[in-house]
Amino acid sequence: MKRVSQRAAHYIRDELLKHEHFIVIALDARQNILSVNRSTPDWKLPGLIRGSVLPDTLRSLLSAAAESDDPVVFPYVEFEGYFVDIHVLGNEASADLVLHDVTELHEKEQTLQQRAHENSLLSEQSAALNSELAELNQELLLRRQQAEKASTAKSRFIASMSHEFRSPIASIMGYADLLRAELPDSENPQALQRASWHLLTLVENLLEQARDGDASVRLNPTRFSLDRLVDDIDALFRTQAAAKDLDLETISSPKNIEVECDELRLRQILINLVSNALRYTQQGQISVHFKHHEDKLNIRVRDSGQGIAAEDIERIFEPFTRVGESNTSGAGLGLTITRQLINRMGGKLKVESKPDVGSEFRVSIPCPRAPDEHKESPQLSGTLLWVDDDQDILSLYQLMLESWGLHVLTASSVTQAKDMINHHNFPLVVTDMHLTDGDGLELFSYLRTAQPGITGIVISGSGLVDLPPETAASGIRAFLQKPLDADVLFTEIAAAFNGGSPGHSV
């Protein structure tokens, strides 16, 4: 073997061996210790002293290795607080023991084993969590399906409530209209009409909230006189303002114009804003200004009331939120709905307010000027069938249509209407969508099969039903919503008798 240079021997000793703790013990035939050589002088194990007898632990290993001629290694033997690999070299006559300190290695292995154990525990846990998660997802899916079902049920409920409320209100409003024509000088029918509008607004507020801002609910633009709207708002709130000793000013410009947008929703907005101004003002003035300019209606409702603190301005639009000190009643819904409606109509709402000075709500809504119309005195002729299960509505529209020169036959059920088709010819049928014994659309398709030339107008009290696109082709020319606008009804009926193209759904 080639001799190892001194430099290399030093290197091995200094660089390699210094990291290793080992002890070499030479034994005689009686297993007495002949010599003890340590790799590092400070690693002293008690009992390993030259001339003494080998400690029992090592002695028993020695006898266990006696059978073998080859070196035997006993790993990880715990000895005097250390873990050592014990190498037995030689035989019983002359044996060498090498004790190699592997405490650190042992600890590392222990740590690794511990980690592996923890990892396997963790992966068991994560498998359990995963299956829990899958169960939760399943439950979530189930809940969502239940929520969707509930929401569909809610929509149906809203549609039917809407129908239930609108019909009687429509009836009151229609009769008030007739009374107004009969008693042009009396204030009473007008008061009745205004109160109905107010009632309708409150109902619409509730329905709007229940719809949860559902933007798919369609708008219902009609032509109306801006002056009449302003007069109605003035008259609606004048008594209340006077009762609180408040000065109410309503101004609009220009005068004598007709505009076209959703009048019901516009009234709803105005009633909410002006009634707030009245409720939150104890003294001074309330002014409501209307200005029509370039297809927009700009409204400013200003009061000299308690005002709103800057930090509360955004909160007042949150549902069921009331701010400041107040001894007035209210649900905290009016402004939420007002903002929703304005957004839906494509408008804007701005608020400025100072506590103890007052508030100003500014609304700007697209509401174009209606084209000039040369109305001749409304006279029509012809016979039509009107189907509705509400007797008051039937009588009301019979009166109204007869005053236009029409001959109106009425039926209060699907059965009655089907029976009448065998005895009469009607160019036009106006039917309510929901009848006690059936569906208006189905009734119409039955009538049309019996008399193919027949045209239909369908009326609904529910804000959720939409006109299916194919209905125009099947003979329905318009789909109208309660409360009916007399002008719209007149136009649709006149067009139906003149064979005009199918109208719009409003």
Among 234, 303, 388, 492, binds ligand ADP (CB under 6 A): 303
Residues 221-280 that bind ligand ADP (CB under 6 A): 276-277, 280
Among 174, 221, 334, 475, binds ligand ADP (CB under 6 A): 334
Q: Which is nearer to ligand ADP, 270 or 387 (CB)?
A: 270
Which of these, 297, 274, 146, lies nearest to 198 by C-alpha position?
Answer: 274
Among 32, 125, 151, 326, binds ligand ADP (CB under 6 A): 326
Q: Is 322 in the site for ligand ADP (CB under 6 A)?
A: yes
Q: Is 71 in the site for ligand ADP (CB under 6 A)?
A: no
Among 200, 236, 246, 335, binds ligand ADP (CB under 6 A): 335
Q: Is 366 in the site for ligand ADP (CB under 6 A)?
A: no
Q: Which is nearer to ligand ADP, 308 or 433 (CB)?
A: 308
Strand pairing category for 22-27 and 33-38 = antiparallel
What b/e readout covers 163-178, taking b as 16+ CB neighbours within 10 angstroms? bebbbbbbbbbbbbbe
Among 306, 340, 460, 505, binds ligand ADP (CB under 6 A): 306
What b/e readout covers 417-441, taking b as 16+ CB neighbours within 10 angstroms? beebbeeeebebbbbbbbbeebebb
Residue 358 backbone phi and psi in degrees, to 5: 145, 180
Is-contact 454 448, C-beta < 8 A? yes
The three-state secondary structure class of 366 is: strand
Q: Which residues contact 198 (CB under 8 A, 6 or more apart)?
A: 236, 271
* Part in contact with ligand ADP (CB under 6 A); list of ranges 93-101, 104-112, 132-140, 315-323: 315-323
Among 192, 316, 408, 464, binds ligand ADP (CB under 6 A): 316
Please tell me the distance from the alpha carbon of residue 213 to that of residue 389, in angstroms, as a whole number: 31
Please tell me the distance from the alpha carbon of residue 506 to that of residue 265, in angstroms, as a whole number: 13
Q: Which residues contact 381 (CB under 8 A, 6 or more apart)?
A: 405, 406, 497
Q: For tokens 């009469």, name the residue.
A: 424
* Part in contact with ligand ADP (CB under 6 A); list of ranges 41-49, 112-120, 184-192, 328-336: 328-336
Q: Is 464 in the site for ligand ADP (CB under 6 A)?
A: no
Size of the site for ligand ADP (CB under 6 A): 21
Q: Is 340 in the site for ligand ADP (CB under 6 A)?
A: no
| Count of alpha carbons within 13 angstroms of residue 103, beta-carbon side | 12
Among 141, 331, 399, 450, binds ligand ADP (CB under 6 A): 331
The CA R_g of the chain, rounded to the nearest whole Å, is 47
Provide, rounded to whole angstroms, the least separation between the CB of residue 347 and ligand ADP: 17
* Part in contact with ligand ADP (CB under 6 A); list of ranges 149-157, 186-194, 259-267, 320-328: 320-328
Binding region for ligand ADP (CB under 6 A): 276-277, 280, 303, 305-308, 316, 322-324, 326, 330-336, 359
